[in-house]
Structure 1
């Protein structure tokens, strides 16, 4: 065999071997890509995204789209060829697998966590919108979760209303941890609670729950490095009673990042006129009960998805502005927002056509 032919054959075989290795050898990466966007003012799967009853509502035109990111599943094994393609693809992003699924988190665990965050974001969106409209909302501190095999398991339950700890009234979730950690591990702490079933019955009957129970729990030591804290094994959160019904109908979506857009959609439905002036506005951002907007992940994917859907303006959390501004899709204006009030002010400028004064995102 001529040397030239042998060399070409060897090179070809080596290339084939490298390609096979690239296809069959897994790499510890995952991929993010633009996901679907949904207009919070419109319908999804044949029914309105926002369903409000018991209060006057108004027709709203235009778009206030929440945005999403697609990610590969926790058990997906990406190969080297896919990773390289993802790195080269402009609209996709390849990240270390542990970035999306830290500490060996399973697909089921991630889905459950995302569902819980999505539910909480809906509650906070309702509260933030109603507060902006000066509509009173009743709130109280509850047991959000109970850790398996913790001292609180079987003693406290998700949905129990925490009235006090050791006789000190609880006004916000952070109070619970502060009061528990006044103890040393092994000491008793006493919770005064309204049982979840009693609270649910009272809400259904539109009355104030009055039945309380005292629950004494022996604290355990935290697994922190360094000095150990006293813990009981619960997380505290906030629950609310709304003066009328607000339902958000959107399946197969998780995480907290739609909070801002849900809040704006609710506000628009409860006020005359159109917040957008008929414009296509998309956005993202977590929101808390006080209307503070927080940063989210995958901002680059969300701006691309919004632009591809037709958005002209993108409400961007201040904490994401620098990253989003590095690669802004053509035809999309990034608008910096830090609170729901900022977003409402920006929408006022958009519908009036006074867009020159919109707060913009910069890379600095």
Structure 2
């Protein structure tokens, strides 16, 4: 016959162990993990109005525009901020939800990045996206867009600090005309550190001569530096205003911006009256680059009743890995691909176009 005292002790040990396990598990589920959750974000029609009723795109007086119909949605993803704390329970719940995802935080935010820094970077990416979409769309529509090398940023305390300002457009270096950023870099590179390079820039419509004493590169003392970042300033045939506002950031709306501009500047209607959504970062030459959160963006598009979704080619495998949410997934590598596919589908909904399946 068993000893009641031994049974009681064993029972007590099991109860204590069970309670401890439950407590530890509960605590573990409360402990933050270094991940962020991706969820479908809002979508917005680039052919429609923004807050206040103004069209997302408005054009200068010289532009000839045409009527459009249907919708060209850009899609977004809701992402926890760099200071957000995701518990194991929340991470597991997101992992088990079809339209959500959990990714390592350092894939989205660099170490020690603050929310302010993240917001500033996102805003800068949106500005770049708007510029690239204007250039790509105008060129696709047959307009000429000029390019001139310009100062994007001046390094504080650098050789050019207090002499050059962001927005200065380079006209010549040491008396030789320059028309591209590479030409500026190469011309400066002909000097030895400590020598003076003579820059002529256009500032507020006037030509300004700026002598700058070059300094040695921090890593290679033989390389001359003037302490600036150089980019391109575009010259447009007429004004193209993007009125999307500041609520959305990042570069991934670029392709849909470009399609809306193109649609308004050319005869015919790209959508064929349909609700079309998509994503993709766009370069000035029209190349479409991959983005993150494509599955979440697809879910957002489906929620907006879109029937076609434009997918950057490099995102196709991810987009096709799971439920298509009732969307026709069209693979695109550049703006020309997107335009030709939409034109074909507008004429014939069953037209064969590049797809992700």
Normalising by structure 2, report the TM-score: 0.88
Alpha-carbon distance in 2 for matches of 1:151, 1:105: 28
Correspondent of 2:237 among 243, 249, 263: 243
Correspondent of 2:109 among 97, 101, 108: 101
Alpha-carbon distance in 2 for matches of 1:174, 1:89: 48
Shift of 1:65: 0.7
Q: Does the CA contact (< 8 Å) of 2:200 and 2:207 recur in 1?
A: no
Shift of 1:248: 1.1
Structure 2: tracts of 5 or more residues without a match: 1-7
Alpha-carbon distance in 1 for matches of 2:83, 2:64: 47
Shift of 1:43: 1.5
With over 3 angstroms needed to count, the CA separation of the structure-2 counterparts of 1:161 and 1:22, relative to structure 1, is same
Q: Does the CA contact (< 8 Å) of 2:42 and 2:300 recur in 1?
A: yes
Aligned residue number for residue 231 of structure 1: 225
Q: Does the CA contact (< 8 Å) of 2:77 and 2:293 recur in 1?
A: yes
Matched, 1:307 2:302: yes
Alpha-carbon distance in 1 for matches of 2:355, 2:222: 45
Tell me, what secondary structure is at the counterpart of 1:191?
Answer: strand
* 1:267-306 pair list within 5 angstroms: 267-306=262-301
Matched, 1:21 2:28: yes
Alpha-carbon distance in 2 for matches of 1:21, 1:184: 60
Alpha-carbon distance in 1 for matches of 2:79, 2:340: 33
With over 3 angstroms needed to count, the CA separation of the structure-2 counterparts of 1:183 and 1:100, relative to structure 1, is farther
Q: Does the CA contact (< 8 Å) of 2:133 and 2:255 recur in 1?
A: yes
Aligned residue number for residue 149 of structure 2: 141
Tell me, what secondary structure is at the counterpart of 2:211?
Answer: strand
Aligned residue number for residue 152 of structure 1: 160
Matched, 1:12 2:7: no
Matched, 1:218 2:225: no
Alpha-carbon distance in 1 for matches of 2:47, 2:73: 8
Q: Does the CA contact (< 8 Å) of 1:155 and 1:217 recur in 2?
A: no
Aligned length: 347
Shift of 1:359: 0.3
Q: Does the CA contact (< 8 Å) of 1:281 and 1:311 recur in 2?
A: yes
Correspondent of 2:322 among 313, 327, 330: 327
With over 3 angstroms needed to count, the CA separation of the structure-2 counterparts of 1:14 and 1:339, relative to structure 1, is same
Shift of 1:186: 4.6
Q: Deviations over 1:329-359 (max 9, x none)?
A: 2311211112211111001111112534110
Aligned residue number for residue 45 of structure 1: 51
Shift of 1:256: 1.4
Aligned-CA RMSD value:
2.3
With over 3 angstroms needed to count, the CA separation of the structure-2 counterparts of 1:14 and 1:303, relative to structure 1, is same
Q: Does the CA contact (< 8 Å) of 2:196 and 2:211 recur in 1?
A: no
Structure 1: tracts of 5 or more residues without a match: 199-208
With over 3 angstroms needed to count, the CA separation of the structure-2 counterparts of 1:222 and 1:312, relative to structure 1, is farther
Aligned residue number for residue 5 of structure 2: none
Shift of 1:281: 1.0
With over 3 angstroms needed to count, the CA separation of the structure-2 counterparts of 1:5 and 1:333, relative to structure 1, is farther
Shift of 1:38: 0.6
Q: Does the CA contact (< 8 Å) of 1:189 and 1:219 recur in 2?
A: no
Matched, 1:341 2:336: yes
Aligned residue number for residue 3 of structure 2: none
Alpha-carbon distance in 1 for matches of 2:314, 2:192: 38
Correspondent of 1:169 among 154, 168, 177: 177
Tell me, what secondary structure is at the counterpart of 1:89?
Answer: coil
Aligned residue number for residue 63 of structure 1: 71
Normalising by structure 1, report the TM-score: 0.87
Deviates more, 1:130-139 or 1:279-288: 130-139
Q: Deviations over 1:177-196 (max 9, x none)?
A: 4444455555543322112x
Aligned residue number for residue 201 of structure 1: none
Tell me, what secondary structure is at the counterpart of 2:330?
Answer: strand
Q: Does the CA contact (< 8 Å) of 1:188 and 1:219 recur in 2?
A: no
